[in-house]
A and B are shown apart, each in its own frame.
Chain A
């Protein structure tokens, strides 16, 4: 079974600074999708960014970018120019291309943004 590990339960960053959230995963598959979801206090999960494993280029969405290291099974999220609205729980998630369509989530990292 796939497992997703987020080793940082909590992180903090100064407003306007950059922070990196870590995620590692375990799989025997060669093709899959990886995601970062944000869950603000309102509790609705929002997709931040996604990466297809077959793509070597790291995904970027505005201030959010990933560092995808397939061999190391690592998928970190970098948030640049952090804003107060970035404060939330961040979940890393894995989805297989074939078979199960469900997401496997990590335990999350709580990000605090300091004004």
Chain B
């Protein structure tokens, strides 16, 4: 069990640029989550996948945000035309679940995005 891996750890970009983050979940986990955490706040849910299907999207996930999990393994989160308000820590988590059962979420170290 190597844990949830996120890359890059840090990303600095200029406003208007596109950025993409990657998350590699724990291998046997079929569920994958993206959260955003700003300073002094708890993580806020963005989106959730079960295998390759994106089952839930938060209203926080504007049209500039898109997430994929093409083969049900790793996932990418892309932010287009970044804004300064996108600066945050982006956390990925994974779990194993069937139906209403869900194991506890395991989190990665996060990707810290700074938009200048």
Q: Which residue of B lies closest to A49 (CB)?
A: B104
A-B contact pairs, 19 of them (CB 8 A): A4-B42, A44-B107, A44-B110, A46-B107, A47-B106, A91-B42, A97-B100, A100-B48, A101-B48, A101-B95, A103-B33, A103-B45, A103-B105, A104-B45, A105-B42, A105-B43, A106-B42, A107-B40, A107-B41
> Nearest Cβ in chain B — how far from A54, in angstroms?
12
> Nearest Cβ in chain A — how far from B41, in angstroms?
6
Question: Contact residue range for chain A?
Answer: 20 to 34
- A residues neighboring B (CB under 8 Å): 4, 35, 37, 42-47, 50, 91, 93, 95, 97-98, 100-108
> When chains A and B are docked, how far (Å) is the Cα of A107 from the Cα of B107?
17
Please count how many residues in chain B sit with their CB below 8 Å of the partner chain's CB atoms: 26
Chain A at the B interface: SS class? loop
Most buried by B among A42, A43, A45, A100: A45
Q: Which of B33, B41, B42, B89 contacts A43 (CB 8 A)?
A: B89
Given known contacts A100-B56, A101-B102, A102-B45, A44 and B108 CB-to-CB distance under 8 angstroms = yes
In the bound complex, do residue B109 and residue A95 qualify as a contact, i.e. CB atoms below 8 Å apart? no
**B16: interface (CB < 8 Å):** no
**B91: interface (CB < 8 Å):** yes
Residues of A within 8 A of B31 (CB): 101
